[in-house]
Amino acid sequence: MRITNPATGLVIAEVAADNLKTVRAKYELARAAQPKWSAVPIKKRLAILSKFRELLIERQEKLARTLTAEVGKPIRQSRNELKGLTARIDFFLAETERALREEKVFADPAGKLEERIAHIPLGVIANISAWNYPYFVGGNVFVPALAAGNAVLYKPSELATLTGQHIAELVHEAGVPRDVFIAVIGDGATGAALLRQPVDGVFFTGSYRTGAKIAASTGRRMIKTQLELGGKDPIYVCEDVDVKAAAAAVADGAFYNTGQSCCSVERVYVHEQIYDAFVAAFVAEVKSYKVGDPQDEATYVGAITRKPQLAVLKAQVADAKRKGAKLLLGGHVLRAKGNWYAPTVLADVDHSMLVMRDESFGPIIGLQAVADDEAAIDLMNDSEYGLTAGVYSASEKRAKRILSKVNAGSVYWNCCDRVSPRLPWSGVKHSGIGLTLSTYGIQTFTRPKAWHLRDA
């Protein structure tokens, strides 16, 4: 398998991919090893994961450079991702023992009957991952899954293979046995081969299209299946905000990671009283972003990781222009070599346009004026997706009233594009099913076993 740098179009590595036979062998190793791993005391498992955290810090620069080379993420943002993962590991290290402790939920006064809940690891799980935040979306799964006593077959995205290999090396160096955490290397066909194994759970991060295929294939097998999928995340800006500050914050939410985040801001609704001022401030902000070599410290917008996405971006912009949107910035491919698209701002968009309906997953955004809060609520809910949604307003009460009516997994007042290890990360509708992070995102790698204990 060839690994290409999306910023240059040059091949930077070649790696051997797994096939059905090698995937099967890896599965069997993991199956045999899992009982031993779950018998390791939890404190010892956590100490090993703490060592993994230390290694991430120690090797940060090398890991960040590799990530930037293979996905085109600006180098500062690669470092931020690594720092973010260590903060998430801190949460798991602090909370896992408590989250997985066996609970006594009932004892009758005569001492004859007791009821308890135990948290049992699922067994061998498949962790199929996306490329856009490989440390985050991988770590959200394999860190708590390993902590809970599971064996993990980890398939990084084919577009983040080198990072996936680094992760496996570090996990092993930290002390997780080689047959308890195993990287499965390859593309969608390899992912499909992995799902043909009798695993006990599937934890997938990726597109709705692939997620729906996976749900159909695992549904008949009655195994736990979690799908963390795409988004078309809206922001509504009320007329009572500081326009310049709100424009800067929302633009950052739309263009950080070159717009390739599951929770990137993808739709912006602005109260008509401040619409013109907001649009002007937004465009000025986006113009200030440095686009260029992702290895350069000053770069804020990098390359488009998946080449086919360029066609999606072009089609969305052409469709919006044809239907009457105003192109205020960008709207074109940038360079001949590598995958580059100019930061693009479309104003006066509406919901007949693809740019307000389909996930863009790139540096383009549509801005639409709305008359009042009720219109904003209707538009925010008018989507197949429901990952995150946010409101910028001076009034917490107003924002909460609006957000309580918006159907999304996470809601934000005066912030966006934000994930916290303490809060569950989940979506509704086509954004997926299940969750990671928070104490629920530790327990999700176990099944509750109910103990009824009667002393005859």
Q: How many chain residues interact with ligand NAD (CB under 6 A)?
A: 33
Three-state secondary structure string covering the chain: CEEECCCCCCEEEECCCCCHHHHHHHHHHHHHHHHHHHHCCHHHHHHHHHHHHHHHHHCHHHHHHHHHHHHCCCHHHHHHHHHHHHHHHHHHHHHHHHHHCCEEEEECCCCCEEEEEEEEECCEEEEECCCCCHHHHHHHHHHHHHHCCCEEEEECCHHHHHHHHHHHHHHHHHCCCCCCEEECCCCHHHHHHHHCCCCCEEEEECCHHHHHHHHHHHHCCCCEEEEECCCCEEEEECCCCCHHHHHHHHHHHHHHHHHCCCCCEEEEEEECCCHHHHHHHHHHHHHCCCECCCCCCCCCECCCCCCCHHHHHHHHHHHHHHCCCEEEECCCECCCCCCCECCEEEECCCCCCHHHCCCCCCCEEEEEEECCHHHHHHHHHCCCEECEEEEECCCHHHHHHHHCCCCCCEEEECCCCCCCCCCCEECEECCEECEECCCHHHHCCEEEEEEEEECC
Residue number with CB closer to ligand NAD (52 or 136): 136
Shorter beta-carbon distance to ligand NAD: residue 203 or 340: 203
Q: Which stretch binds ligand NAD (CB under 6 A): 10-18, 19-27, 129-137, 168-176?
A: 129-137
Question: Does 191 contact ligand NAD by CB under 6 A?
Answer: yes
Answer for which of 6, 201, 230, 390 binds ligand NAD (CB under 6 A) is 230
For ligand NAD, which residue of 121, 206, 330, 441 counts as binding (CB under 6 A)? 206
Residues numbered 376 to 395 that lie near ligand NAD (CB under 6 A) are 387
Which 36-95 residues touch ligand NAD, going by CB under 6 A?
A: none
Give the CB-nearest residue to ligand NAD: 191
Q: Which of 228, 266, 285, 359 is catalytic?
A: 228
Q: Which residue, 92 or 278, has its beta carbon nearer to ligand NAD?
A: 92
Catalytic residue among 70, 81, 262, 359: 262
> According to CB under 6 A, which residues from 332 to 351 bind ligand NAD?
none
Task: Please confirm, yes or no, whether 416 is among the known catalytic residues.
Answer: no
Q: Is 262 a catalytic residue?
A: yes
Q: Decide: is 354 part of the binding site for ligand NAD (CB under 6 A).
A: no
Find the shortest distance in angstroms from Cβ 145 to ligand NAD: 16
Q: Is 417 in the site for ligand NAD (CB under 6 A)?
A: no
According to the binding rule CB under 6 A, does residue 214 interact with ligand NAD?
A: yes
Residue from the set 18, 70, 200, 228 that interacts with ligand NAD by CB under 6 A: 228
Per-residue binder mask for ligand NAD (CB under 6 A), 271-310, x = binder: -----------------------------------x----
The residues binding ligand NAD (CB under 6 A) are 128-133, 137, 155, 157-158, 187-188, 191-192, 195, 205-207, 210, 213-214, 228-231, 262, 306, 359, 361, 387, 425, 427, 432
Return the active site residues. Answer: 228, 262
